[in-house]
Chain A
Amino acid sequence: MNTGTAYPEIVKTADGIPLKVSLARAQRKSKIRGVLLVLPLFAFILLTFFVPIFDMLFRSIENQLVPEVMQNTSKLLVDWNDQSGKLPPEEVFAAAKLDFEKGHAERTILRVGRRLNYEVPGFASLFRKTARRAKDFEPPYQDAFIERDKRWGEIDTWRLIKRESGAFTISYYLAAMDLAYAPDGNVGMRSEKQRIYLKLFWRTLVLSALITFLCLILAYPIAHLLSTLPLRTSNLLMIMVLLPFWTSLLVRTTSWIALLQQEGVINDLLVGLGLLSDDGRLAMIHNATGTIIAMTHILLPFMVLPLYSIMKTIPPSYMRAAKNLGATPAVAFIRVYFPNTVSGIGAGCILVFIISIGYYITPALVGGTDGTLISNFIAYHMSISLNWGLAAALGVILLVIVLMLYYLYDRVVGIDKMKFA
C-alpha cells in the first residue's frame, strides 16, 4: 500500500455529515430493522415454548408443597439432628399437630401425603389416618401421634419429612435414575424389583438404534436406485417415498394394526396359505416387534431423503473411473462410493435416532408392554399417576440426550442445512 497518499479532507455526504458517521447510522438503522422483524416471533416462541420448557425444568426440582403446608414442622425440624438417634423434641410434634389440623381444614395435607408417598409407599395412608384425628390430639403430642400410628415413633419417618421439607428436591431425578435414599439417608440403587427407568432408557436407546439400523439397510439401496435412475422414473418412484412421508402417522399406525394383529391381514394370509395353523397365529403387535416394524416404516423416508440428496451429488464418473483403474465393483463401492455417502449416512442416522428416542404415539398404540419407550412413561406420569415432578425429571433427562445428539448433528451436517422434501 502506498502510504504517501493522504486524503486532505474527510468525505462528506450531501448534508455535510461525514460519510463514515452517516454510513454507520444507516447500518445501525438497518440492523435495528432486522431485529424488529425477528422480535415478534422470538417473543412468541419465548412465551409459548421456552417458558413452558423452563417451567418443566423448574418443576422437576421444586418442592414448595411440603414446606408450605408443613411450615411449622419444617422450620423446627431444621434444628433436629437426624443422626442423633432420638425422635424430634415435643415442640416438633406440637407443630406437626398444628400443621395437620390446618392442612386438614384446607385439604392440603393429603397432597403432602401423596407427595411423600412417592418416596416411601404408605405415607399417603399415614397422613390420611393422622389428619382425620389431629384436632383431637391432647398433649403430650408425641404420645398422641404414636398412639394414632406407631410409624410416628420411627426416626426414619421424621428423617424423610426433614429431608423433603426444603424448597427444592433432587428426589425426582433420583427416582428417574432408579436411585433412592436408604432409610439412613444415603443414596443407593433401588431394589432389583423397583428398577424401571434405567432399563427403560436402555430399551429406548436399543430399540432406537435397531430402528435406525433397519432404516439404513432399507434406505441405502433405494436411495442409490433413486439417484441413478433417469429423472422421469426416479420422480415416479420418489412418490412412493413421499406419500408415506406426507401421510398422517396415525393413518400409518392404524394400517399396521390392521396388518399385524392376530386377526389381521398378514396372519390371515399366512393361515390361508397354510404356512401357519389357525391357533399358531403370530403375535406381531402389542410388543416390541410391532413397535420396530411400524416405526421403521414411519421413519424410513427420513433416512431415504438425506441419503438421496447426498448420492445425487456423486458423479457416476467416479465409479466408472474406479472400475477403469481395475477395481472390481465391490472394491469400487467400498473404496469410492461408500466414503462419499458417509455424511448422508451420518445425517440420516442421527435424524432417525433423534426422532425415534422421543417417539410417543406409535409405541403407545402398538407397543404393548415391552415395546413402550421412555416417552410413554412420561405420558403415564403426566396423565395417570399424576406424579408431575417425575414426569418432568424424565422429560429433562430425555431432552438433554436429544440436545446432545443435535449438537452432534449440527457438527456433522449443520442444523441450518435441514430441509424437507
Chain B
Amino acid sequence: MSLPAYTSTGERIWFYAYRIFCGLVFFFLIAPIIVIIPLSFNAVPFFSFTEEMLRFDPAGYSLRWYNDFFTNPNWQGAVKNSIIIAFFSTILATFLGTVAALGLSRSDMPFKSTIMGLLISPMIVPLIISAAGMYFFYSKVGLQGTFPGVILAHTALGTPFVVITVTATLSGFDQVLVRSAASLGANPTTTFFRIIVPLILPGVISGALFAFITSFDEVVVVLFVGSYEQRTIPWQMFSGIREQISPTILAVATMLVLVSIALLTVLELLRRRAERLRGMTPQ
C-alpha cells in the first residue's frame, strides 16, 4: 500500500507514525522469541550476551547446554513423560471429542447449546481452579501423582478443542452427501468411513494437534496433579526457573520454538487443504 500523490503532509506523517508503531508492536511480539535462540549457545552460564558473543568470537559460543539437555536424566525423563502423557491424552481426547462432536452437530440434538457449554467448560475455567479441584479430588481417589491421573486431567483439558474444531468442520459439512451415499446403497458404517471421515479428517487432525499441544504445554495442572515421577518438559522448566536457573532452559526453549514452528506449518497446510476442499464442494 503506497500513498497516493495527493496526500497532505499531515496525513503522510500520520501514516508513517502508524507504520512505525505497528513495526514496534511486531518487534515486541517476535523479538523475545528470537532472542533466546542465540542466547542458548552461550558458552558461560549467563542469561545475557557476553562480549565474546557480541564480537562473534567462536569461543563465546558453545553447545554445552544442548549437551546438558541430552545427557541430563532429569530432562530426558521429562521428554519421555511429556510424550507419553501427551500421546495418551491426545488419543483419548480426539476419540471422545470427535464422537461427541458428531452427536452435537445432529440437528435433532436436545439442549445443544447447554451441553456444548458444559463440554467446553474445562477450557473456560482458569487452570488454577481446575488444578485445585483435581488436586483435592484426585488425591482422595488415589490418582494424584500417577500417570493415569495426569493423562485423565490432560484429556479433560484437551477435549474442548477437539469438540470445537470438529463441530466447526461438521457445520460446513453437506448432509446431502450422506443421503446420496445412502441412496446409492451404502450402509451407515460405510457412509461413515468412506464419506464422513475423509471429509472431517482435517478438522479431527487439527483438533488432535490442539489437544496434543494443550497437554504438551500444560504446566499448572501437572504441577499439582503430577509429581516428580510425572515431570513433563514444562514442569521441569518451571522448577528449573524457580530453583537453579541454568541456560539449559534456553536450549530447551529454542527447541520448543522449533517445535511450534513445525506445528504452525502443519496447521497452515491443513487449513489450506480444508479451504481447497471447501472450494470443491458444490454450494
Contacts and interface: CB of A to CB of B under 8 A. Distances in A.
Given A250-B219, A418-B164, A420-B161, A258 B36 contact: yes
Contacts of B159: 41, 44-45
Interface stretch (A148-156, A262-270, A334-342): A262-270
A69 to B, nearest CB: 19
Nearest to B103: A37
Given A53-B130, A265-B35, A392-B132, A41 B125 contact: no
B100 A297 contact: no
A40 interface: yes
B1 A388 contact: no
A94 B137 CA distance: 37
Contacts of A257: 47, 241, 245
A254 B241 contact: yes
Tell which of B124, B155, B264 has the most Cβ of chain A within 10 Å.
B124
Interface stretch (A118-126, A157-165, A221-229): A221-229
Interface string B112-124: 0101111111101
Contacts of A242: 264
Contacts of A239: 264
A221 B18 contact: yes
A13 interface: no
B257 interface: yes
Contact of B261 (A243, A255, A395): A243
A360 interface: yes
A339 B136 CA distance: 47
Contact of A250 (B29, B30, B119, B238): B238
Most B-side CB within 10 Å, residue of A52, A241, A243, A416: A52
Nearest to B92: A44
Interface string B19-51: 101100110111011011001000000111100
Contacts of A218: 25, 28
Contacts of B36: 251, 254-255, 258
Contacts of B164: 418-420
Interface stretch (B62-70, B248-256, B274-282): B248-256
A106 to B, nearest CB: 20
B30 to A, nearest CB: 5
B226 interface: no
A361 interface: yes
B64 to A, nearest CB: 17
Contacts of A355: 126
B99 A37 contact: yes
A40 B100 contact: yes
Interface size class of B (residues with CB under 8 A): 35 or more
A375 B221 CA distance: 13
Given A55-B140, A378-B132, A416-B113, A254 B237 contact: yes
Nearest to A218: B25
Nearest to B259: A248
A251 B120 contact: no
A229 B2 CA distance: 11
Contacts of B19: 225
B213 interface: yes
Interface in A351-391: 354-355, 357-361, 365, 375, 378-379, 382-383, 388, 391
A421 B168 CA distance: 13
A42 B128 contact: no
Interface string B99-110: 110111010111
B97 interface: yes
Interface of B: 1, 11, 14, 18-19, 21-22, 25-26, 28-30, 32-33, 35-36, 39, 46-49, 96-97, 99-100, 102-104, 106, 108-110, 113, 115-122, 124-138, 140, 152-153, 155-156, 159, 161, 163-165, 168, 210, 213, 216-217, 219-220, 224, 234, 237-238, 241-242, 245, 249-250, 253, 256-257, 260-261, 263-264, 267
5 contacts: A41-B97, A52-B130, A53-B130, A247-B33, A256-B32
